[in-house]
Structure 1
Amino acid sequence: MRFVLAIVAFVVAAVMILAGIAQRTVFAPPAQVSAATTVSGEPRFIVIDGAVLNSHPGQQTLYVDGAKNELVAYGRTADVTTWLGDQSYATLKYDATTASLTSKNVTPSPAVDTSGTAPSTTAPTTSSTPSADAKGPNPAGSDLWLEEFDGTDANVTRMNVPNNISVIIASDGTAPAPNQIRIVWPLDASTPWAGPLIVGGGALLIVGLGLYLWGLYALRRSRGPRRKGGPKMPKLPKAPKYKPSKSIEATPKGRRSARRAMIAVPVVLVGALGLSGCSGDYWPHFGGTTPMATSTPITTELPKSKDVQPPAVTVPQLERIMTKISASATTADAKLDSKGIATRFTGPALQLRQANYAIRAKKSNEPALPAIAAGPLALTLPQATSMWPRVVSTVVQGSSKTQAPQAITLVQETPRSNYLVTYAVSLEPKAKVPDLAPAAIGAAVVPPDSKLLLLPPQQVAAAYGDILMKGPKSTYFNLFEAQGDTLRPAVGLEYKTKKKAAIPKTASLTFTNKVGASDPIAMATNDSGAIVWTSLEEFETTKVVEAGAEITLPANSQTAALLGTNSSKTGIQANYGYQLAFYVPPAGSDQKITLLGFAQGLVSAKEVQ
């Protein structure tokens, strides 16, 4: 009976092991599913919606080919659509029944505004399209994209995007986009019963082997005399024992050696099969569905409420933007490139930097302005909006311990333009930034004439300029915090009084100021106040008041470098630019307006009559 059970165990074990192995080989499910298409019509742009990319769960792998210069980027669907504006493009759809991709050409209405007051959803129409010979916009380097790949990196891209993200495929905006497209999704290729079958079969094989050995042992014990008989027979003389040679002894024979081989083979087989079943794909997951290995999903950090506007940028997106701005500024600072710096700076920040280049070109010992660091970003405050222009503020810590953190304000005027540095100020040593909205939500931009603040943003620069001119006699003196303000003693009333006293009687010195040409930018804080960035221009005018007198400047002065001469028989006017960042508390608060940071310097000089 034991031998019968052993044979049955061997047969069942063999069936189980073979079934487990078959699940991982001949009956193994496919590891992925793919869909491919060749887009006809040579469109300049191809858009793949997030819903198409999520037709199957898991990481999406996108393969593109068919163009000399290839670019793949992804961003918010609304941003991608608005960036395309009046450009025709092709969209892809996924047919679940046939597991294939189909394309459809979209011609936006000419009424779509690419300047970007608000993103709009375009629909197919028969309206006229831009000329095929016209040069199209180049999507390369756009600050709207969350990520961008070009060249060989664009041939194969792996992503895990949500439904509100779309992919744009292009070349240079003028040449046709790569039209050979394939999307691959991973499938659950696990075989949860392969492990139990293989290991269970191995265990049953051991049980069968035990039964077999038990049967042999019982059979051996059952042999021998059953009863005692008559007198014993005399013993026969023993024949001499045969001693085999060593070479013959080396080869084991007989039933015992065969049993050793039979034991070794199952043990090795079971060990190998047991080790092969260690992978998680071989075992069932009773806690839920089988997990699939995918990349970290990309998130746009958007609020879920439909009534809340999304932040203008995500933190990773801003980090990428600041890296590009830092690289452009570093190159321009080194080459004194006034045109190059204008590709990433505007307003008072551009004016100050270009003036610094002009001074350094004639004055070799003139220090450069503080470098724009790429990061790390200590604070990110994007505007909560889906319209343009868009505002983003950040505080860059920088890697240098000797340089103060910089508060930088960026403005993107249209969907197709990049963010430009409008204000770049160094924070005060004791500046305390109030509580701000998290980067995932963003903040509202406060109107320049808002009366919900202690002072409307458009009046802050003029009020502070009045304090610099009049000191304690200014009407606004008690509205601003003097403690911690390092700019006021450096260029305020006391400084101006001392400088006037040093002017000879043959000349006169006057100070005037006015609000800068750039509009102030105010972003709301959590306490209903606002961070206000504004600019101020101050004019220092020296005139000759006695006939025959002459004004002489130090030869190595900044004013002489910009003026092109160090003397004048009539007068000289030096224009200083101030970039200012304030915290303005809400109306009715007992707090004062606090200077958070500033940047200032000579921006122009001219001879006056």
Structure 2
Amino acid sequence: MRFVFALVAFIGAVLMIGAGVAQRTVLLEPDHVTREVTIENPTTYMVVDQEALAAFAGQQTVTASGSPEVFLSYGRTNDVLAWIGDTAYTSIGYDAEEDALTSSLITPAAEPGDEPAPEADPDAPADTADEDAAEPEENPDATGSPSGSDLWLDQFAAENVLRTTVDIPEGITVLLASDGTEKAPSRVGISWPLDNSTPWAGPLIAGGALLFLIGVFFLITGIRRHRRGRGPRRNVGKSAKRLPSAPKPTSRQIGRGSGRRAIGRSRIAVVPVVAISAMALSGCSADYWPDFTAMATSTPTAEPTATADGEEEPVVQEVTPPAVTVPQMERIMRRIAVLAGDADSERDESLLSDRFTGPAFDAREANYAIRASLDDYAAPAAIRASPITLILPQQSNVWPRVVMVVTQNEDDPTEAPIALVLQQQSPRENYHIVYEMALAPDAQVPPVAPASIGAPIISPEFKGLLMPPGEVAAAYADVLLKGSESEYDELFTVDGDVLREQLGVRGQREIAASLPDTADIEFSNEVGDGPTVALATNDSGALVSVEIEQREKVTPNDGGTIGFEEGSPGAALSGFDGKSAKGVQRRVSLQLLFYVPGVGSDGTITLLGWSENLISASEVK
């Protein structure tokens, strides 16, 4: 009977191990699914829609080919389409019924009076573009390379063939192009991973190995039992003669007689070899076993909460997304830091214009001109890419967009943090630094929203603050000029305002006292050309960035002449090293960052940071 059990165990082991191995070999499902599309007449740009990217679950491996240079980027759908603008492009979608990628030509919206743009034939084959659609006549001014745009969350480039794996969530779109002038890749494929795990392969192989061991046990015990009961049993009679004893075996015979133990050892050695092999096959991967953790961690789906009247709670309105994400802004700051460093070292204004504008550009431009004549003149403060201690993007999906960033010099903690205000005027333009201000030593920046939420922009005419943002610059300019006699003096915090001490009434008196008796000086302040940028804070206040220009006009009062001091920044910037009977003048740009509390607050307007830069000097005309 033991032999029967052993035979059944061996057969079961073979079937179970065979079934487990077959699941991982001949019966194994594919580990990915791929859908491809070929475009007969590709446009300059190609957009892979969300429906195509989400055709299957999991990360997407995008393969693009068919052009000498292949560029891939992804960003918010609104940003991608805004960057493309009025240029015709190819849209890659997904047909669920045909289970295939589709391509269609998207043309700009027709102006009133124009003929409507032709639509793609919905019956066109899934793997080719609409051959009947005319190739678009693109606007050359609208084309350009998408590489390096600040709108992208990430970008990749390769020659001939590009293959990359991304994880595109909802609301994100992929953009494919070449160099912005050549046609986009004509072949696109998207692959998604498939779950081809075989959770019963491990149990089958392990169970088969266990049955094999059981079969071996029955076989060995059956053989031993059979040997013990082998041969007839004889009764010895009383008169039977005693047989002579058998001769003793020689040493050679003893050696040959030990073969039974050798056979037993080799048979027993087979058992662990087979068992270990089966266990190795069944335990080499988690795909061989059921995943009980997923079942344990699954949570029930939340149900809508009903109100007391039995009505469901209203759906919360979607908040406008921030202009940039944190990784996006960190990448932008790295690019700006490199460019600013190169421009500062080479004093290259043309290079500077790629990332600076407004008051920030004027300040560096003047600094370069002064340093061209004065080698010992201080260079502008370096733009640090990290660490970034504050990122406050505007909540916006339109343009222009604004972001405020505060960076710190990690090598020198005593250096004041720098507050930067960046602005992106249009989708095709990158972010430019508009304001660059050093924070005051004791500056207390009020709580603001996290970067993942952003802050709404506040209109210059908004009256929900202690003072409308558009009036802050003029009011502070009056305070600097008149001091406590200004009608706005009580609205501004006096304690800790170092700038008021340096350039206010007290500072102006010190400057006038340093001039010779034969010269008079006249001060005037006015609102600069820089934009008023106001971002909301959590306490209903606002961070307001403005520019004030302070003018100094020095004239002789005795009928003589006067000029800039030799070797002074004014002389270097103006190029005027003589004397003038009309006098000389300087223009200083003050970039200012204020905290303006909300209406009803007990606080006052506080100066958080500033920068002072000589931007113009000349003879009085």
When normalised by structure 2's length, the TM-score is 0.89
Map 1:388-403 → 2, pairs under 5 A: 388-401=399-412, 402-403=414-415
Q: 1:197 maps to what in 2?
A: 204
Structure 1 residue 224, shift from structure 2 partner: 7.0
Is the 1:530–1:583 contact (alpha carbons within 8 Å) kept by the matching residues of 2?
yes
The corresponding residue for 2:507 is: 495
Shift of 1:44: 0.6
The reply on whether 1:584 has 2:596 as its aligned counterpart is: yes
Please state how far the C-alpha of 1:483 moved relative to its aligned partner.
2.0
Q: Per-residue displacement from partner, 1:79-121 (whole Å, max 9, x unpaired)?
A: 1112211111111122345543221111121549xxxxxxxxx
2:397 match: secondary structure: coil
Which residue, 373, 377, 380 being the options, matches 2:388?
377
Corresponding position: 1:460 with 2:503: no
What pairs with 1:531-570 in structure 2 (closer than 5 Å)?
531-547=543-559, 549-570=560-581
Q: Equivalents in 2 of 1:342, 1:355: separation in Å?
A: 13
Does structure 1 residue 260 correspond to structure 2 residue 288?
A: no
Are 1:37 and 2:45 matched, yes or no? no
2:616 corresponds to: 604
SS in 1 for 2:591: strand
Q: CA RMSD in A?
A: 2.5
The aligned residue for residue 280 of structure 1 is: 286
**Aligned partners of 2:63, 2:170: CA distance in 1, in Å?**
19
Q: Counterpart amino acid of 1:187?
A: L
2:276 equivalent to 1:271: yes
- Residue 194 of structure 1 aligns with an amino acid whose one-letter code is A
Match for 2:546: what amino acid?
Answer: T
Per the alignment, residue 69 of structure 1 pairs with 69
Matches within 5 A, 1:111-150: 111=111, 124=119, 129-131=136-138, 136-150=143-157
Q: Matched residues in 2 for 1:516 and 1:51: separation? A: 49
Contact 2:75–2:152 (Cα < 8 Å) also in 1: yes
8 Å contact 2:82–2:427 — kept in the other structure?
A: yes
Q: Distance in 2 between matches of 1:535 and 1:305?
A: 39
Secondary structure at the counterpart of residue 70 of structure 1: strand
Aligned to 2:339: 328
**Aligned to 2:185, what secondary structure does the other structure show?**
coil
Structure 1 residue aligned with 2:525: 513
CA distance in 2, matches of 1:557, 1:14: 96
Give 1:591's aligned amino acid: G
Residues 5 and 27 of structure 1, relative CA distance in 2, 3 Å threshold: same
Runs of 5+ unmatched residues, structure 1:
113-121, 292-303
Q: Label 1:446 to 1:569 Cα distance change in 2 as closer, same or farther (>3 A).
A: same
What are the within-5 Å matches in structure 2 for residues 432-447 of structure 1? 432-447=444-459
Distance in 2, matches of 1:37 and 1:496, equals 72
Give yes or no for contact 1:49–1:92 (8 Å, CA) kept in 2: yes
Aligned residue number for residue 487 of structure 2: 475
Shift of 1:378: 1.1
Q: 1:337 aligns to what?
A: 348
Q: Distance in 2 between matches of 1:127 and 1:19?
A: 56
Alignment coverage as a number of residue pairs: 584
SS of alignment partner, residue 67 of structure 2: coil
Q: CA deviation at 1:134?
A: 6.5
- Offset at 1:324? 1.2
Where does residue 118 of structure 1 map in the other structure? Answer: none
> Is the contact between residue 449 and residue 457 of structure 1 (CA under 8 Å) also seen in structure 2?
yes
Please state how far the C-alpha of 1:255 moved relative to its aligned partner. Answer: 4.6
Q: Structure 1 residues 464, 128: CA separation in 2 closer, same or farther (over 3 Å shift)?
A: farther
CA contact (8 A) 1:69 1:171 kept: yes
Q: Is 1:523 aligned with 2:535?
A: yes
Cα distance change, pair 228–237 in 1 and its aligned pair in 2 (3 A) = closer
Correspondence for 1:239: 247
Percent of paired sites with the same residue: 42
2:309 alignment partner in structure 1? none
User: Is this contact kept in 2: 1:64–1:180, CA < 8 A?
Assistant: yes
CA distance in 1, matches of 2:97, 2:490: 73
2:617 aligns to what SS in structure 1? strand
Q: Give, in whole Å, the separation in 2 of the partners of 1:556 and 1:163.
A: 61
SS at match of 1:35: strand
CA offsets, 1:374-414, max 9 Å, x none? 12221111111111111111112243324321111111111
In the alignment, the residues of structure 1 paired with residue 55 and residue 288 of structure 2 have an alpha-carbon distance, to the nearest angstrom, of 26
Contact 2:52 2:101 (8 Å CA) reproduced: no
Partner of 2:179: 172
* Native 8 Å contact 1:395 1:407 kept in 2: yes
- Please give the secondary structure, in 2, of the residue aligned with 1:582: strand
CA distance in 2, matches of 1:506, 1:233: 159
Alpha-carbon offset, residue 552 of structure 1: 4.2
In structure 1, the partner of 2:428 is 416
Q: Deviations over 1:456-485 (max 9, x none)?
A: 111111221222222222222221112222
Which residue matches 1:159? 166
- Give, as a single letter, the amino acid of the residue that structure 2 aligns with 1:239: P
Residue 261 to residue 230, structure 1, CA distance change in 2 (3 Å): same
- Change over 3 Å in CA distance of 1:127–1:476 after alignment to 2: farther
Q: Give the one of 354, 361, 367 matched to 1:350.
A: 361
Greater CA drift, 51-60 or 230-239: 230-239
Deviation at 1:343, TM superposition (A): 0.9
How far apart, CA to CA, are the structure 1 residues paired with 2:108 and 2:260?
Answer: 88
Q: Deviations over 1:314-343 (max 9, x none)?
A: 111111111111111111111101111111
Q: Which residue of 2 aligns with 1:295?
A: none
Over residues 522-543 of structure 1, what are the superposed CA-to-partner deviations in whole Å (9 max), with x where a residue is unaligned?
0111111100000000011111
| Letter paired with 1:272 | S
Q: Which residue of 1 aligns with 2:123?
A: none
**Structure 1 counterpart of 2:440, from 415, 428, 431:** 428
CA deviation vs aligned residue, 1:43-86 (integer Å, no higher than 9, x gap)? 11111012211111111001111112221001111111122111
Query: What CA distance in whole angstroms lies between the structure 2 residues aligned with 1:111 and 1:373?
Result: 46
Question: For structure 2, which runs of at least 5 residues remain unmatched after alignment?
Answer: 121-132, 298-314
Instruction: For residue 551 of structure 1, give the secondary structure of its aligned residue in structure 2.
Output: coil
For the 8 Å contact 2:563–2:584, the answer to whether it is kept is no
8 A contact 1:378–1:396 mirrored in 2? yes
The residue identity in structure 2 corresponding to 1:156 is R
User: Aligned equivalents of 2:139 and 2:488: distance in 1?
Assistant: 60
Change (3 A) 1:386 1:285: same
* Residue 108 (structure 1) aligns with: 108
The amino acid of 1:332's aligned partner reads A
TM-score by length of 1: 0.91
Deviations 1:534-560 (A, max 9, x none): 00000111111222x332433221111
Matches within 5 A, 1:302-321: 306-321=317-332
The structural deviation recorded for 1:17 is 0.7
| Residue 275 of structure 1, CA deviation | 2.2
What whole-Å deviation, never above 9, does each CA across 1:489-508 have from its counterpart, x for those lacking one?
Answer: 22221111111122212111
- In the alignment, the residues of structure 1 paired with residue 276 and residue 10 of structure 2 have an alpha-carbon distance, to the nearest angstrom, of 16
Shift of 1:257: 3.0
1:88 aligns with 2:88: yes
Instruction: Quickly say closer, same or farther: Cα 1:162–1:306, change in 2 above 3 A.
Output: farther
Q: Partners of 1:127 and 1:451 in 2: how far apart?
A: 54
* Greater displacement, 485-494 / 597-606: 485-494
